[in-house]
Amino acid sequence: MIATHAKAQDNDLRLQAETRIDYSGEFLKSNGSNGTASFNGKYLNVILSGTIGEDFSYAYRQRLNKAHADQSFFDATDWLYLTYAPSRSWQFSAGKQVVAIGGYEYDRAPIDLYFCSEYWNNIACYQFGVSATYATNSGNDKFLFQVCQSPFRANADNMYAYNLMWMGSHKWYQSIWTLNLIEHNPKEQIAYLALGNQFTFGNFRLQLDYMLRASNHDMLFKDYSIMGEASYTIADKLNIFGRATYDVNSTTGAINDFCVMPNTELTRFGAGVEFYPLPKNNRSIRLHAFYHYTLGHNGNPNGVLQDGQSMFSIGLKWKIDIVSIAKKIF
């Protein structure tokens, strides 16, 4: 999730923990089996944020269920950055951040997503870097420029991503648009045009993303992804949604896109429901169920999405505010 902070308020501290547990069954047409089903933990996150004085704020999220190399605890750190906000218009951040790539599928917290595009499943979206954000006087538009480690082959030296983002909020329309120039090999770049659009009308919401990827003119309009989700909330407790993604890469020759490989055309679609049992719009507990199906061809033999793949899942997410609990106890 791409985060920006309001001007810090002194002594503000938030410490939360969240987790999600699902019972899931997966079936793949090509292996001829009856599929597999099991209980499993999806996420276990600790989230810390707060302020230092009036102008500085920090944000930290650690994924406790994610493995990390012995030499780098940061492998399992989603973000850890310090933000300096000298005015209401300007913010400057440094640390491990979300790579500023557009789209609402990409922007949403992974714990709140159930099935995604092939692109989403293969991008290493948390990297070390620096960024600057400018907000208009109305606060309806924000512009961010970021330089960070490339999400491709992230352990290589001297490989960077240069990202320019517009975040807009205008009544029923919101946007997350970006232009990105990302090194996929030393001194070789792939460009993104990522257009994230959200339309909100009362309890109905439509998110529609388009991402075009190209490293040269021969790739134009041959390598792209489309992601969309429509949802409707009933009485602030029940949310129903339908979702579809489409990934295509019809380029030939050298592999320049490490997320959606050449000779790929995949469609994934499904639907689901969410229920929030607590009163007064409290969303600390969520029950969910969904089903999806995938068809097409994946040019990556080790890719996530495969032809004839289907999955159902029933699960539970909960979140606790550790600071509030501690205040009640002590």
Tens digit of each residue's pLDDT (9 = 90 or more) over 214-245: 988 878 899 999 999 999 999 999 999 999 99
Evaluate whether residue 61 is within a structural domain: no
Does residue 273 lie within any of the structural domains? yes
Distance of CA 177 to the CA centre of its chain: 14
This prediction's pTM = 0.92
pLDDT (tens digit, 9 = 90+) per residue, 140-198?
999 999 999 999 976 667 899 999 999 999 999 999 999 999 999 888 999 999 999 99
180 falls within a domain: yes
Please give the residue range of the domain that contains residue 135.
92-329
Is residue 289 situated within a structural domain?
Answer: yes
Q: Which of 32-46, 94-108, 288-302 has the lowest mean pLDDT?
A: 32-46
Handedness of CA 123, 48, 155, 179 (dihedral sign): positive
User: Cβ contacts of residue 320 below 8 Å, gap of 6+?
Assistant: 16, 17, 18, 284
pLDDT of 32 reads: 61
% of the chain beyond a pLDDT of 70? 93
pLDDT band for 321, please (50, 70, 90 cuts): very high
Rounded Cα distance, 165 and 142, in Å: 8
For 15-35, the pLDDT digits (tens) are 999 999 999 999 988 766 668
pLDDT of residue 252 exceeding 90, the answer is no
Alpha-helical regions (H) of the chain: 104-107, 322-329
Structural domain includes residue 227: yes
pLDDT, position 6 = 47
Q: Using one digit for the tens of pLDDT, what is the confidence trace for 59-72?
A: 999 999 876 655 56
311 domain-assigned: yes
Residues 258/1/284/91 CA torsion (nearest 10 deg) = 160
Write down the pLDDT at residue 9: 46
Number of structural domains, the chain? 1
When the pLDDT of each residue in the chain is averaged and rounded to a whole number, the result is 92
pLDDT of residue 10: 46
Is residue 38 included in any domain, yes or no? Answer: no
The answer as to whether 143 is a domain residue is yes
Cβ atoms within 10 Å, residue 248 = 19
CATH number of residue 241's parent domain = 2.40.160.10
